[in-house]
Structure 1
């Protein structure tokens, strides 16, 4: 039999390799500390070749953030798409926790950008995250008006949910250390999601 020639990587394949490598380096070193030489090496190409796909370090950084936000927003649709408040909130929290488990480096890149004042990504956050948040708030307010959940400060409730779930990506090394294990396991994320869900549902129990 004649051996088959493996398909050549497409441009999208190569960009994905670069973005994956860049996400890890930006998460660990920050924008200023990340090296394009190391990012290119991680993607299996030269620095010169990397510039064929991304013209600058900032362009690559913004692409990484765009992908992170897109993944994050995909997980936010569960709430407004739900008919039942309890199921919608449960699915939303589980999706956010799953994102923290599957994309820890991406979460840390985003957290670093926020901690630095979001100077490079401020407008995108307002334009992309803001409308989705407002849609989710409208859903919660509708359920409260129908008497299906208690009325609380839903904006800060969402901020608390984001913080609680994202912490399992950003602070995962600390949590694993205190649990006496080398890394968090899927069961740890499931347990955290169940506890957060329980607290939220009890808080929103109609009075």
Structure 2
């Protein structure tokens, strides 16, 4: 029985450098446009050195996507059935927005994969992701039946949250081209807008 040896500090550092470099290259060039030579150059390593850690470009890409999808779902998992429904969903919106703000490369990488038809993660989308969305949609519907939320299609509500929050990462050039911000003040304005927008949309109409 083979026992996998623990990685040395240098090996861990090199793997992290490769993954970080690949994230930048893939998020800019997409899977098809990215090359191992580009990744090696960005990581400050030789191409053979990269291939020592990963068997192929696809192996690097698949590992990035696997970790990313799991991280991306954490905010949705945190919806608390015991919490106030509007507060819980608005908090989810803001967590998703902050993730897009803090990890724009990751958001663009995920968007590129979806645009291509999600060939490398379709099993995860149709499996664990669908199961989680179904679970949280059922929670939202229970809150709606109790009169604690406006009657909105739960799954389309979740889709809208993904769209409105990730837009600021995936279409950053468009947003900045229109708004011409001097820094990141537009992101503060966006956070305030999303909070107000979803609070109003989620609040039940008075009888």
TM range (shorter): 0.7 to 0.9
- Closer, same or farther: CA 127–144 of 1 in aligned 2, 3 Å: same
Of residues 19-28 and 189-198 in structure 1, the stretch that sits farther from structure 2 once superposed is 189-198
CA distance in 2, matches of 1:130, 1:10: 38
1:46 is matched with which residue? 46
1:5 is matched with which residue? none
2:4 is matched with which residue? none
Q: CA deviation at 1:42?
A: 1.4
Equivalent position SS for 1:118: coil
Give TM-score scaled by structure 2 length.
0.88
- Closer, same or farther: CA 180–64 of 1 in aligned 2, 3 Å: same
Q: CA deviation at 1:86?
A: 2.0
1:138 is matched with which residue? 138
CA distance in 2, matches of 1:11, 1:81: 42
2:21 is matched with which residue? 21
Query: Across the two proteins, how many residue pairs are aligned to each other?
Result: 198
Q: CA deviation at 1:22?
A: 0.6
Match status 1:118 vs 2:118 = yes
CA distance in 1, matches of 2:59, 2:114: 18
2:199 is matched with which residue? 201
Task: Identify unmatched segments of 5+ residues in structure 2.
Answer: 1-7
**In 2, are the aligned partners of 1:97 and 1:189 still within 8 Å (CA)?**
no
**In 2, are the aligned partners of 1:150 and 1:204 still within 8 Å (CA)?**
yes
Q: CA deviation at 1:82?
A: 5.4
Q: CA deviation at 1:79?
A: 2.0
Match status 1:189 vs 2:184 = no
**In 2, are the aligned partners of 1:21 and 1:43 still within 8 Å (CA)?**
yes
CA RMSD of aligned residues (A): 1.8
- Closer, same or farther: CA 69–82 of 1 in aligned 2, 3 Å: farther
- For residues 1-12 of structure 1, the aligned pairs below 5 Å read 9-12=9-12
Q: CA deviation at 1:66?
A: 1.2
The answer to which structure, 1 or 2, has the higher relative contact order (CA under 8 A, 6+ apart) is 2
Give TM-score scaled by structure 1 length.
0.88
CA distance in 2, matches of 1:131, 1:20: 30
Task: Identify unmatched segments of 5+ residues in structure 1.
Answer: 1-7
Match status 1:129 vs 2:114 = no
Equivalent position SS for 2:79: helix
Equivalent position SS for 1:83: coil
Q: CA deviation at 1:129?
A: 1.5
